[in-house]
Amino acid sequence: MTNPRGPSGRKVIKALERAGFYVKRKKGSHVVMRRDNPFAQVVVPDHRSVGTGTLDVIIEGCRLNNR
């Protein structure tokens, strides 16, 4: 059995909470997280493993990087 490539959705959610995001709503296995100031909103899949491409999109969407 292979190891998952990325972190779990729950780990991503916890990291975003530490960065000032909160859970806006949840539908099925997807969690909408929001930060009010500065405004940003991202959708995090609550899966066992979040793919690296999806993680890149989440990071870009919440403006945690300095690009």
User: Do 5 and 51 contact (CB within 8 A), yes or no?
Assistant: yes
Q: Around 29, how many Cα atoms within 13 Å sit in the side-chain half-sphere?
A: 8
Reading phi first (left if > 0) and then psi (alpha if -120 to 50, else beta), residue 6 is in: beta
Q: What is the pTM of this model?
A: 0.84
Confidence of residue 5 (pLDDT cuts 50, 70, 90): confident
pLDDT digits (tens, 9 = 90+) for 12-44: 999 999 999 999 999 999 999 999 988 999 999
> Residues in the chain, how many?
67
User: Do 54 and 45 contact (CB within 8 A), yes or no?
Assistant: yes
